């Protein structure tokens, strides 16, 4: 992305920067975990490839080490995305935890120092769907947020960090919000924040940022088709938050919403696309941007009518279908941005 496609001058509304105008007349493309359809996710190689493919933003999910450093992993359990299981010295770190109501057994970032984490190597999370990515296993370390931020600044593209599980992490004695603020200050301050969206499925972390006066943030409230913010549940659901009153409340602290695709174009019981909902229209009436997640090329993730190839083939689900058509349908529905594992395809469909 060229610098002119980054942010225009921001003014403050409710603590987060109010753009007042579109960044550009076209939807933004967010490299979801980098170009994670073609490289192991959340590696510098994945982020670099997304940048090469024309992504407007790279997206690092942020969790926290034992020594309070933010690092880029989709989840704080790292058994599926690193080679930690092959490290005998960390065998005793494997344990069961419950994170946001989900119980799992594995290795957890918050039980490692950064130095220990850097001895691990990243690997492909979905080798059964992306065997080509597995060829890059072992080549990359787990990057820090500071490293991802420096890369985005050097390349002149935006960055779109997600604060993962802040309530859980605080219960572990780790608060990611102050560490995040400090990292942005060290990595460019307001200039870095101006080239950034900050996203979270919880509400409290975004409200904390929105109330700051020293840095203006562009906050995005993440939502899924089911459930609700962990820090507000069970009293508030995401469905409550997309009502007219709910969207107005979100606008008090956020500039937009990042929503699951099914909230915009649902699928029927057979997996076929249905008529778009009115969510994009309603959000725009509330002066909120709409960024949709996640666009992937494999048949496994696509609606039935856009899958391609021989249904009887053993690799049918990992074959690529017509992602271009799905992206164009969402662009036509008026979304302001898309998260894609294949940012190059999202850029091509946009143009």
Told to judge if 32 belongs to the known catalytic residues of this protein, a careful annotator would answer yes
Angle at 253 between CA 62 and CA 289, to 5 degrees: 80
Q: Hunting for tokens 């089911």 — which residue is that?
A: 226
Active-site residue identified among 42, 74, 165, 291: 74
Active-site residue identified among 32, 42, 165, 291: 32
> Following CA atoms 131, 134, 136, 142 in sequence, which dihedral angle do they give, to the nearest 10 degrees?
130
Task: Give the Cα separation of 134 and 138 in Å (integer).
Answer: 9
DSSP state of 4: G
**Cis omega (within 30 of 0) on the bond before 234?**
yes
**Do 40 and 71 meet the contact criterion of CB atoms below 8 Å apart?**
no
Task: Give the residue among 28, 15, 57 at the shortest CA–CA distance from 251.
Answer: 15
**Do 198 and 175 meet the contact criterion of CB atoms below 8 Å apart?**
no
Helix/strand/coil for 207: helix
Angle, in degrees to the nearest 10, between helices 323-332 and 343-350: 50
Cα torsion angle, 70, 76, 77, 79, sign: negative
Told to judge if 320 belongs to the known catalytic residues of this protein, a careful annotator would answer no
What residues act catalytically? 32, 74
């Amino acid at each position: 992305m060229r610098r002119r496609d980054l942010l225009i001058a921001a003014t403050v509304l409710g603590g987060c920067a109010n753009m007042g105008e579109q960044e550009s007349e076209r939807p933004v493309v967010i490299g979801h975990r980098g170009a994670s359809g073609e490289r192991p996710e959340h590696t510098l190689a994945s982020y670099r490839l997304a940048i090469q493919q024309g992504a407007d933003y790279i997206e690092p999910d942020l969790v926290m080490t034992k020594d309070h450093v933010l690092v880029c992993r989709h989840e704080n359990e790292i058994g599926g995305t690193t080679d930690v299981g092959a490290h005998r010295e960390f065998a005793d770190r494997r344990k069961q935890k419950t994170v946001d109501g989900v119980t799992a057994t594995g290795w957890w970032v918050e039980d490692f120092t950064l130095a220990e984490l850097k001895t691990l190597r990243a690997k492909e999370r979905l080798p059964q769907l992306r065997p080509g990515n597995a060829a890059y296993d072992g080549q990359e370390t787990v990057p820090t947020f500071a490293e991802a931020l420096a890369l985005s600044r050097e390349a002149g593209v935006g960055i779109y960090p997600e604060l993962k599980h802040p309530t859980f992490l605080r219960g572990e004695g780790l608060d990611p919000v102050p560490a995040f603020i400090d990292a942005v200050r060290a990595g460019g301050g307001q200039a870095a924040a101006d080239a950034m969206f900050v996203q979270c499925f919880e509400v409290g972390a975004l409200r904390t940022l929105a109330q700051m006066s020293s840095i203006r943030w562009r906050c995005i409230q993440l939502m899924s088709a089911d459930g609700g913010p962990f820090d507000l549940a069970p009293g508030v659901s995401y469905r409550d938050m997309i009502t007219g009153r709910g969207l107005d409340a979100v606008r008090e602290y956020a500039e937009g919403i990042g929503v699951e695709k099914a909230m915009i174009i649902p699928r029927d019981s057979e997996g076929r696309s249905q008529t778009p909902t009115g969510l994009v229209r309603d959000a725009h009436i509330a002066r909120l941007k709409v960024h949709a997640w996640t666009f992937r090329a494999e048949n496994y993730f696509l609606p039935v009518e856009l899958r391609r190839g021989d249904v009887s083939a053993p690799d049918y689900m990992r074959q690529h279908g017509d992602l271009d058509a799905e992206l164009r349908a969402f662009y036509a529905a008026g979304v302001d941005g898309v998260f894609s594992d294949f940012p190059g395809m999202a850029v091509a469909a946009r143009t």
